[in-house]
Structure 1
Amino acid sequence: MTERNVVSWTAIVVGYANVGDMDNATRMFVQMPERNLTSWNAMIGGLVGDMASARALFEKSPERDIIAWGALISGYAQNGQPNEAVKIFLEMESMNVKPDEYIMVSLMSVCAQVGSLDFAKWVDCYLCQSSIDKGQTHVIAALIDMNAKCGNMDRAKKLFEEMPKRDLISYCSMIQGLSIHGCAEEAVGLFNRMLNERLIPDEAAFTVILAACSRGGLVKEGSHYFETMKNKYSIVPSPDHYACMVDLLSRSGQLKAAFELLNSMPVEPHASAWGALLGACKLYGEVELGEVVARRLFELEPKNSGSYVLLSSIYAAAEQWQDFAIVRDKMRERV
């Protein structure tokens, strides 16, 4: 190329950013003799895995459009920083920049993370008063997910039932919302309705329904879905699926079955699954099994004081004071 202009420079920066090569994108961005809005936006959007850098670049940008604001809000939402996302949204609002549907979807995702009913109602009301097309599938799906997870189940159900065509995502949002808010049996009924509508559940859908069964103590239903997932849908259980089943069995007092399931796993179980079983050992006073489980946790997370505390509590409940003292000493040494 005999002459490079801002368009060609920007094309290279955007190309690198689109494939996630932010080192080269940054190198080219720094070398640019002049920068336009597109190059700034490409860099901000590409850096959302590192929100401190993305925010710093956003603050330096001489001009900000809806794409830049949206990239920052979406980035905070994806990185589990909902409070920062809300701050950016309110700052954007104060500058009379009107959000598009993509920013509102990100904001609803943020609200679902926070779980605030009042915030959900405010976002819902704001969206209804805006000019954004509320009939778009991704907007409706986000509305259902937000309202369900924040406990506004009547609103979520209304939106869900009014959908011209319900999909796996909308069903899972409703099932998860019902599960979170103590309606496990209703969640199971909705999952069965989904199957009757001939929708094919995926790994995520089975994680959602197994978690619902765990929260509700529905051992029979959870066991059925776990077997159905393997035998009918040929889905190999993931560590998350096993963790749900271990939690379900542990909560219902079937500690030996939970232990056997953990040992049958073809992959290393999550520490959280062992932790759920250890917590159940404390609840049901299972000293011998608690010792075995605790030793496994000490290997996986030697600096996690929670496992030591649980085992010492098991010993205390059984009035095994010498063992209690030994565990406490080990905790002080390692943690």
Structure 2
Amino acid sequence: MTLFLRCCCRCLSSSSAAILANTAPTAAASSSSLSVASLLLSCRTLRSLQQIHPHIIRKGLEQHQVLVCRFLVLCTSHFALRYASEVFFRVSSPNVILWNALLNASSNLSSLSDTLYLFNLMRHSQHPDGFSFPCLLKSCSFHAALFLGASLHAAIVHLGLEDDLFIRTSLINLYGKCRQVDASRKLFDTMLYRNEVSWTAMITGYVICGNVVAARLLFDQMPERNIVTWNVMIDGYVKAGDLINARKVFDEMPKRNEISFTSIIDGYAKAGDMVSARFMFEQLNNKDVFSWSVMISGYAQNCQPNEAFKLFVEMYNRKIEPDQVVMVGLMSACAQLGRMSIAKWVDLYVQQISLDASQPHVLAALIDMNAKCGNMERASILFASMQIRDLVSYCSLMQGYSIHGFGAKAAKLFDQMLKEGIIPDDIAFTVILTACGQAGLIEEGSGYFKLMKDAYNIDPSLDHYACMVDLLGRAGLLKEAFEFVKSMPMEPHAGVWGALLLACRMHCNTELAEIALLRLSEVEPQNAGNFVSMSNIYAADNRWADVSQVRYIMRLKGLRKIPGCTWVYS
């Protein structure tokens, strides 16, 4: 057997390897096949693969199943499923190994329905083996298709393949990903033999279900742990918000990789500790695009947009091409800065690099960035280009209209969203109520507040009540706003009383302002801004003695007015 054939058979069962060996080239054909085999072994890019294919055709090797098998594996690694399918279906009688290679490609790169179609097509000419079912089960796991997975399990039992190591491990993974951890454990406990992948699949199931205690118990029982299992355990603690144990597992690891570092960095970022996240990031020698994306997104999520941009510039200078996660994080940072010039650069950069900007989450981020930076024309064009509009994209555009004083357009867009059958959530109602408040749309805002409760069964939150107080207060309906506050079914928070105080300042109502300040001093006594607002209300009413009294109280409390600043960008 040649070196090439051994490479192809390395990960196959003995029976599968025998099938490939029987299709090995004869002495007459060996010279042509070996030259192509050598090219395939050295292939590193999709372009190289496309250049090798004509050689296979010219040398009459399209039916050479060993070469085609290797070709399909390479197509999968380069995300070229369509190309792999074209090559596969030129083989007159593909054996089970070739079918498994195509199934594996489909399970990684295509939909569940496509993979199921190929599986059923395969059954017309070949019997599925211990490698066929795991490919389909993997696709079921990814799409959380429990019903189909359970049906496959029944077929596997009927065929007597349930004790196959790879199949049973795939079933454990399926049930774990579908949060049926008891079914996973039953299969795990009755296994005749377990390998590291089986243990890891079971531990992963517990982590997905949020049972990090059970995951750790199994982790401690595991005879030999690989780096994947260690990383799963770190991820479990990070998801549980237990950074102490996550770091402890990280420090105990005999060997770490990029995933180990990225998991702990992500944990610190989610906890808001960007100093520790940056420290761990700097300890990572081989930073991949995923580690960069976690840091940039972490800075954006923790309201540090300048740091996000600084890190992106460093990444850019190292000539590391960003992925979608990096660019979405950068767009979020840009939206926080509100600078149109930077937004235009980011928008143009996305068009220049090989990034699929048509993906819904990328488009939604582009819309949000342009809208918050004031480029509503571009945001509207991007929104119109979306084939399928979701709640996030609608909210992004509505919020943009609201920020820039187009409340009526936001209301019109909200109504359009309802007509398209998109169900609003509590955030969507916060956005539209804010827009109505800033535009003075009292009737529309009151209608949306009632719609939220009556039509969508959403209990108004404190933020919703604050929006309504703001809506009434801005319109000068201060008495109605105060009565609304008193009718609330829960204790008002600072946002509610703050909205009333702001309205009192706008309309010079000192009586209600004093009530609002009194309540604000109870819920947030160290907020100097509330006292400053009250002082300004007294000043507008020429009550200078009361102004002095407020300033005296501020000195007693040790409160100081925070100096304001204005940024002007060219």
Structure 2 CA distance for aligned equivalents of residues 52 and 40 of structure 1? 15
- The equivalent residue for 1:24 is 245
Cα 1:321–1:114 change in 2 (3 A) is closer
Alignment of 1:241-320 (within 5 A): 241-320=464-543
1:12 matches 2:233: yes
- The equivalent residue for 1:36 is 257
- Range 242-251 or range 292-301, more displaced: 292-301
2:265 counterpart letter in structure 1:
I
Alignment of 1:1-335 (within 5 A): 1-4=222-225, 6-48=227-269, 49=271, 50-334=273-557, 335=559
* Amino-acid identity (%): 54
Structure 1 CA distance for aligned equivalents of residues 494 and 234 of structure 2? 42
Cα 1:8–1:244 change in 2 (3 A) is closer
Cα 1:179–1:5 change in 2 (3 A) is closer
Structure 1 CA distance for aligned equivalents of residues 277 and 423 of structure 2? 39
- The equivalent residue for 2:52 is none
2:474 counterpart letter in structure 1:
R
Deviation at residue 40 of structure 1 after TM alignment: 1.8
Deviation at residue 220 of structure 1 after TM alignment: 1.3
- Range 122-131 or range 137-146, more displaced: 137-146
Structure 1 CA distance for aligned equivalents of residues 403 and 540 of structure 2? 31
Deviation at residue 330 of structure 1 after TM alignment: 1.9
2:412 counterpart letter in structure 1:
G
Structure 1 CA distance for aligned equivalents of residues 435 and 476 of structure 2? 17
Note the alpha carbon deviations across 1:49-98, whole angstroms, 9 max, x for none. Answer: 21110100111112211111111011111111111111111101111111
Deviation at residue 116 of structure 1 after TM alignment: 1.2
User: Is the 2:463–2:495 Cα contact (8 Å) retained in structure 1?
Assistant: no
Deviation at residue 7 of structure 1 after TM alignment: 4.9
Cα 1:281–1:123 change in 2 (3 A) is same
Deviation at residue 30 of structure 1 after TM alignment: 1.5
Structure 2 CA distance for aligned equivalents of residues 4 and 255 of structure 1? 66
Deviation at residue 3 of structure 1 after TM alignment: 4.7
Structure 1 CA distance for aligned equivalents of residues 405 and 265 of structure 2? 40
Cα 1:63–1:225 change in 2 (3 A) is same
Structure 1 CA distance for aligned equivalents of residues 512 and 239 of structure 2? 51
2:259 counterpart letter in structure 1:
T
* RMSD (Å), alpha carbons: 1.8
Structure 2 CA distance for aligned equivalents of residues 292 and 217 of structure 1? 24
1:64 counterpart letter in structure 2:
K
Three-state SS of the structure 2 residue aligned to 1:47 is: helix
User: Is the 2:535–2:547 Cα contact (8 Å) retained in structure 1?
Assistant: yes
Deviation at residue 205 of structure 1 after TM alignment: 0.8
Which one scores higher on RCO, CA 8 angstroms, separation ≥ 6? 1
Cα 1:258–1:29 change in 2 (3 A) is same
Deviation at residue 239 of structure 1 after TM alignment: 0.8
Structure 2 CA distance for aligned equivalents of residues 209 and 7 of structure 1? 45
Deviation at residue 328 of structure 1 after TM alignment: 2.8
Cα 1:27–1:230 change in 2 (3 A) is same
Note the alpha carbon deviations across 1:8-55, whole angstroms, 9 max, x for none. Answer: 544433443344332112112222233222222222222212111010
User: Is the 2:493–2:523 Cα contact (8 Å) retained in structure 1?
Assistant: no
Gaps of 5+ in 1: none
Structure 1 CA distance for aligned equivalents of residues 428 and 379 of structure 2? 18
Deviation at residue 294 of structure 1 after TM alignment: 1.7
Three-state SS of the structure 1 residue aligned to 2:552 is: helix
1:31 counterpart letter in structure 2:
E
Deviation at residue 137 of structure 1 after TM alignment: 1.4
Structure 2 CA distance for aligned equivalents of residues 62 and 98 of structure 1? 18
Three-state SS of the structure 1 residue aligned to 2:489 is: coil
Q: TM-score, normalised by structure 2?
A: 0.56
Note the alpha carbon deviations across 1:272-294, whole angstroms, 9 max, x for none. Answer: 32122223223322222222222
Structure 2 CA distance for aligned equivalents of residues 254 and 112 of structure 1? 33
Structure 2 CA distance for aligned equivalents of residues 17 and 299 of structure 1? 36
Q: TM-score, normalised by structure 1?
A: 0.94
Cα 1:12–1:235 change in 2 (3 A) is closer
Structure 2 CA distance for aligned equivalents of residues 231 and 146 of structure 1? 33
- Range 154-163 or range 8-17, more displaced: 8-17
Three-state SS of the structure 2 residue aligned to 1:246 is: helix
2:453 counterpart letter in structure 1:
K
1:75 counterpart letter in structure 2:
G
Cα 1:263–1:99 change in 2 (3 A) is same
2:366 counterpart letter in structure 1:
L
Gaps of 5+ in 2: 1-221, 560-570
Note the alpha carbon deviations across 1:220-278, whole angstroms, 9 max, x for none. Answer: 11111111111222211111111111111111111011111111112222313212222
Cα 1:298–1:90 change in 2 (3 A) is same
